[in-house]
């Protein structure tokens, strides 16, 4: 590595590389950059490691990937050492796991906590980034890696009066470390996405009164979680190689992958039996292991939607409530399917009320609770499960200024562009882990791939005496054509959700765009690998 530039009085510290974020991506990237001998600093806004698993500590929070498919795969000793206690581990366990990784690799000595990055400006003359923190300090580095997450910028609804509320209020994505007691309390939950569903099923256990404010129902399906005993964990350990191999082969790196049959290839009886089987299995089978045309063929999608609607009607006693919980404006799986544990049964409890905010809109938050178009409610606690400014949101709140003085936000105002999600045209030496149009799915698998790819590129540069990498415009255009191509014909593209870039709470994000990569992870990886194999074809290196 060449020496850091000199004469930069404004920068308080000089590094070879800066990583923004100490979540799963940032931690792994730090391990790999140390191996390259790069003097690296991680800036992390929180006071601990974990990213998503640090901020999202709301009741019932857990992931929907099987635990043993979710952990890091790169460290065989860690796989031997660590025991998952549930098929779908709860947030405290995942946070503990990531802290163990930070301890094991002594990562904290290179992480500055409580350090939120405000701006990053490329200095073309020096070939470095100046990174400015909210505390006003400035730091220089040759390389800048964003590990800022996909769903990490919580958004609040624009209701008037939010600050007037005299009780306690929380956003699920900014949950406090202190325990919140719901016993005997009147609680409101606003929002019924994956976070809302997990929160609702947990809060309903102890709250005196839980009122759920639902604008759009989502299709939910059973998680079928279970404990993992010592013996089962030993058995899982023997299968790790096969588990991670499987994740490399499936569509979205989950253990499940689409069934090779089309919905109407089989008889009605076979179809029903298959859907019953998926509905009774652990995890995402019903969503990502369903018939292969379920998310592209309207009639196929209607068939699965009909099946899941039947299940909801069976599980919810009051037919009117059941109808409110069945989505009418989008088909099954065209938005993220929250996995649940007795979520629908919650609405059979006498302490739970469902309010349809399309019929009776929330007008304002009041000091005592909230007012809808037809009623006044009093609450002790209001929980905002109102989601995130997804994908671009985490980038938008940092002012990245590139080679020509243009900001990333300006460049992306009509939708993000990239080269395989990791490199940007006009932003040299900016490496965006899980950046736009990356294969998402089972996130840690994508994280490991991204980190390895960026590390290999930096190693290539070191070996060849290069210090600058940037996406070439032609390669970006070719990749973006592919991104647009694979999105065509996907039913999910016809629906408002964070996956199509829509968030009514954020100015300028009301229009649907191709916000994520909708092709398969293997195809995504083949594009990225081909670039590397062809000596980083399409990447401007010098």
Residues 183-222 that bind ligand N01 (CB under 6 A): 190-196, 198, 215-216
**Minimum gap (Å) between residue 91 Cβ and ligand N01:** 9
Distant-in-sequence, close-in-space partners of 395: CB < 8 Å, separation ≥ 6: 146, 148, 408, 409, 412, 416, 432, 435
Helix (H, G, I), strand (E, B) or coil at 86: strand
Q: Which residue is nearest to ligand N01 (CB)?
A: 193
**Minimum gap (Å) between residue 425 Cβ and ligand N01:** 28
Within 13 A of 432's CA, how many CA atoms are on the CB side?
27
Regarding 387 and contact with ligand N01 (CB under 6 A), the answer is yes
Q: Which of 63, 122, 254, 517 binds ligand N01 (CB under 6 A)?
A: 63
Residues 43-62 that bind ligand N01 (CB under 6 A): 62
Regarding 372 and contact with ligand N01 (CB under 6 A), the answer is no
**Minimum gap (Å) between residue 193 Cβ and ligand N01:** 2
Q: Which of 19, 145, 151, 321 binds ligand N01 (CB under 6 A)?
A: 151
- β-strand pairing of 381-384 with 399-401: unpaired
Regarding 427 and contact with ligand N01 (CB under 6 A), the answer is no
- In whole angstroms, what is the distance from residue 25 CA to residue 19 CA? 9
Distant-in-sequence, close-in-space partners of 509: CB < 8 Å, separation ≥ 6: 389, 501, 502, 503
- For residues 334 and 295, the answer to whether their CB atoms sit within 8 Å is yes
- With helix as H, strand as E and coil as C, how does 384-426 read? ECCCECCCCHHHHCCEEECCCCCEHHHHCCCCCCCECCCECCC
Give strand ranges (E) for 305-463: 339-340, 352-356, 362-365, 369-372, 376-378, 381-384, 399-401, 430-432
- In whole angstroms, what is the distance from residue 489 CA to residue 493 CA? 8
Regarding 129 and contact with ligand N01 (CB under 6 A), the answer is no
Backbone angles phi, psi at 12, to 5 degrees: -80, -25
Q: Which of 57, 139, 271, 336 binds ligand N01 (CB under 6 A)?
A: 336
Q: Which of 385, 408, 430, 521 binds ligand N01 (CB under 6 A)?
A: 385
**Minimum gap (Å) between residue 403 Cβ and ligand N01:** 33
Instruction: Closer to ligand N01 by CB, 307 or 384: give it.
Output: 384
How many chain residues touch ligand N01 (CB under 6 A)?
24
- In whole angstroms, what is the distance from residue 261 CA to residue 238 CA? 31
Regarding 505 and contact with ligand N01 (CB under 6 A), the answer is yes
**Minimum gap (Å) between residue 379 Cβ and ligand N01:** 15
With CB under 6 A as the contact rule, which of the stretches 238-246, 340-348, 379-387, 410-418 interacts with ligand N01? 379-387
Regarding 498 and contact with ligand N01 (CB under 6 A), the answer is yes
**Minimum gap (Å) between residue 220 Cβ and ligand N01:** 11
With CB under 6 A as the contact rule, which of the stretches 90-98, 125-133, 228-236, 381-389 interacts with ligand N01? 381-389
Report the interface residues with ligand N01, using CB under 6 A: 62-64, 151, 157, 172, 190-196, 198, 215-216, 336, 357, 385-388, 498, 505
């Amino acid at each position: 590595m060449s020496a850091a530039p000199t004469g930069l009085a404004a920068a308080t510290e000089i590094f070879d590389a800066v990583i923004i974020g100490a979540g799963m991506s940032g931690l792994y990237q730090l391990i790999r950059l140390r191996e390259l001998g790069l003097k690296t600093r991680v800036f992390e806004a929180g006071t601990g490691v974990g990213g998503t698993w640090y901020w999202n500590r709301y009741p019932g929070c857990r992931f929907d990937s099987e635990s043993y498919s979710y952990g890091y795969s790169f460290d065989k000793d860690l796989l031997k050492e660590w025991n998952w206690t549930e098929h779908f581990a709860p947030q405290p366990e995942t946070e503990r796991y990531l802290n163990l990784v930070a301890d094991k690799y002594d990562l904290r000595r290179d992480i500055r906590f409580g350090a939120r990055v405000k701006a990053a400006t490329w200095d073309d003359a020096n070939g470095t980034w100046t990174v400015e923190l909210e505390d006003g300090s400035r730091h220089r580095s040759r390389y800048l890696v964003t590990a800022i997450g996909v769903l990490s910028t919580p958004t609040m609804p624009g209701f008037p009066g939010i600050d007037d509320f005299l009780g306690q209020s929380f956003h699920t994505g900014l949950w406090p470390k202190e325990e919140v007691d719901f016993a005997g309390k009147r609680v409101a939950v606003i929002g019924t996405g994956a976070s809302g569903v997990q929160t609702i099923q947990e809060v309903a256990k102890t709250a005196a009164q839980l009122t759920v404010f639902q604008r759009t129902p989502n299709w939910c399906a059973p998680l079928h979680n279970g404990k993992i005993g010592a013996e089962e964990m030993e058995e899982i350990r023997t299968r790790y190689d096969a588990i991670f191999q499987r994740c490399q082969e499936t569509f979205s790196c989950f253990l499940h992958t689409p069934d090779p049959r089309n919905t109407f290839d089989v008889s009605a009886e076979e179809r029903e039996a298959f859907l019953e089987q998926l509905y009774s299995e652990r995890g995402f089978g019903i969503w990502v292991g369903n018939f292969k045309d379920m998310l592209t063929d309207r009639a196929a999608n209607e068939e699965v939607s009909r099946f899941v609607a039947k299940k909801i009607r069976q599980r919810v006693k009051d037919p009117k409530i059941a109808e409110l919980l069945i989505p009418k404006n989008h088909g099954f799986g065209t938005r993220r399917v929250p996995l649940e544990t007795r979520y629908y049964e919650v609405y059979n409890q006498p302490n739970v009320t469902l309010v349809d905010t399309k019929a009776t809109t929330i007008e304002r938050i009041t000091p005592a609770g909230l007012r809808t178009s037809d009623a006044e409610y009093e609450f002790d606690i209001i929980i905002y499960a109102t989601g995130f400014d997804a994908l671009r949101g985490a980038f938008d709140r940092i002012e990245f200024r590139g080679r020509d003085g243009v900001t990333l936000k300006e460049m992306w105002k009509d939708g993000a562009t990239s080269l395989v999600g990791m490199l940007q045209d006009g932003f040299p030496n900016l490496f965006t882990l899980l950046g736009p149009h990356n294969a998402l799915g089972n996130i840690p698998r994508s994280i490991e791939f991204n980190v390895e790819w960026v590390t290999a590129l930096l190693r290539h540069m070191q070996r060849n005496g290069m210090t600058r990498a940037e996406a070439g415009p032609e390669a970006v255009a070719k990749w973006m054509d592919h991104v647009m191509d694979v999105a065509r014909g996907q039913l999910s593209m016809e629906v408002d959700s964070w996956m199509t870039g829509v968030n009514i709470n954020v100015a300028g994000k009301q229009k649907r765009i191709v916000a994520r990569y909708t092709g398969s992870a293997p195809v995504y990886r083949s594009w990225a690998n081909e670039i590397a194999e062809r000596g980083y074809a399409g990447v401007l290196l010098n």
